[in-house]
Each structure stands twice: as structure tokens, then as C-alpha cells.
Amino acid sequence: MTPSSLPLFFTVVLANVVFGRPSQTPSLSTPGANVVAKDIFILAGQSNMAGRGGVHGGKWDGNIPPGCKPHPSILRFSAKHKWEVAKEPLHADIDVKKICGIGPGMPFANEVLANVSKTRVVGLVPCAIGGTRMTKWARGTPLYARLVHRANESLREGGAIRGLLWFHGESDTESRIDAEAYKDRMETFINDLRSDLNVPNLPVIQVVTPSGDKKFMDTVRRAQKEVNLPDVWWVDARGLNMKSDDHMHLTTISQVHLGRNMARVFLASYGPSSPHT
């Protein structure tokens, strides 16, 4: 399979489409008149997915850029398993041991909504937890069980799971063993999740971790790009701005750029005008 790239509206990041082929994965087709269809996306991984944009000194600054504004057609599945209008921070009641801010989820949802039928609803299911290695997401662990449970519960009022947004890997750059095992562990995780959710071609949009000073960063970045499964795509976060106070988490504006580019990768393959639809 040969990597290809999508044209971008921003020059700060290159959204590279590397794996994937036409499949029977449900697409964002336009529903019939007077029908509201819920397209559900799981948000998982660690702190950058949970959102640290705008968090400084243990407090979130409350700044919500236009790309993260609430919309009545963007819903969030709460920790209490209730659908509600989504608003930042999306993971406030999920990643409860940390202060959450802006992540890529709302920019993704707003970009998707802007390019599909207005009779649709985008549903977000936050599941990310900061500081978690890949082994913490393996089948049989509490985090994996919680993700599957929340995803299944989100379907009770209708809708379909359209994709997994995955931003992870920083914690696995600290150990050679974890870094070198990342590709195999990620492929196992995806296969297990597709099986347990009964969505065999579940699209996965994963973020290739930004640059950093961890010893095995390049090993993990390479592993993320080499995941060899159908309907798995990656967006490279290298070049996006990091917060100056920790040099590990993306700034608010970088999260907006990232979320939009993840949406463009998804829409290029599964949107209303995509070749797969």
C-alpha cells in the first residue's frame, strides 16, 4: 500500500492517508426526509485526546475557539450514559484525575457536520485517559471494557458507530519494549475492538504523535505509520505547536487544526461524496 496525502487548508500539518480500501463500512449517506441519523465516533487514547489545550497551572482558561463551539446537532455521551449537547471540555467527567481543556473532538465534529446533511447528528463518546500505555487498552483491561461498554450503551437510542478517533503513544516512547511492541499491540487492539463492537471494518483515524525528546519517540511514530490493517488512516501531528509550559500537549489552536484534518481524512473516504459511499 502506498501512502498518499490529502490537500490541506493549513500548512502546519500534513494529513497523510496511508492505509484503507473500499469496504462495506457504513458511510455518511443522506437519510430520508424527516429522519435524524446519529453518526457516533469514539474518542480514545491519552491526554492529548482528552484535551489539554488551554490548561495552564492546573486551570483551564475557558477559551473556546470558533471550531469548538457547541451545536445542537453535536451530542456528547456523558459519564452517566446520557446524550447531551456537546461542549468543551469533552472529557471533563471522564479523565477526572486531570484538568481537561480543548482536544480534537469538537473541531472534528464541527468539520464533519459542515460537510454532511443537516438532518444528521454527530455523537461523540469520550473515553480517553491521560498517561495510559498501550497495555492499559488491551482486551481484558478496565479501560478496554469501559470503552466497549460506553460504545454499546451509546447505541441504545439509535445510530451507528462510524469511527474511532485515536490519539495515543506518548507514554510508550519511554521504554524500548513498549515502543517496539506498539505496532503489534495497536493492530491487536483494533481487531479486538472491531470484533467486540461487531463493526468489522470500523474506520480508525489515528494521530501520529508529535515530536518530542523521549528516547523512543521515532520508534513509536514509525510503528503508528506501519499499522497494516484496512480502514486505518493516520494524521501526522509533527509540526503542530506544543504548549510552552510542558512541551508535551498541543495548544488550543493546534488541536483545532488537528481535529479538522482528522475530519477531512474521514470525509475523503466515508463522506457523502467519497468514492466509498
**Which residues are catalytically annotated?**
47, 245, 249
Partners of 102 in the β-ladder: 53
Cβ-proximal residues to 24 (8 Å cutoff; 6+ apart), any chain: 201
Other CB atoms within 10 Å distance of the CB of residue 245: 10
Q: Which helix (H) or strand (E) holds 74?
A: strand 74-77
d(CA 248, CA 240): 11
Cβ-proximal residues to 149 (8 Å cutoff; 6+ apart), any chain: none
**8 Å CB contact between 157 and 37:** no
**8 Å CB contact between 179 and 171:** no
Q: How many helices (H) and strands (E) does the chain have?
A: 6, 11
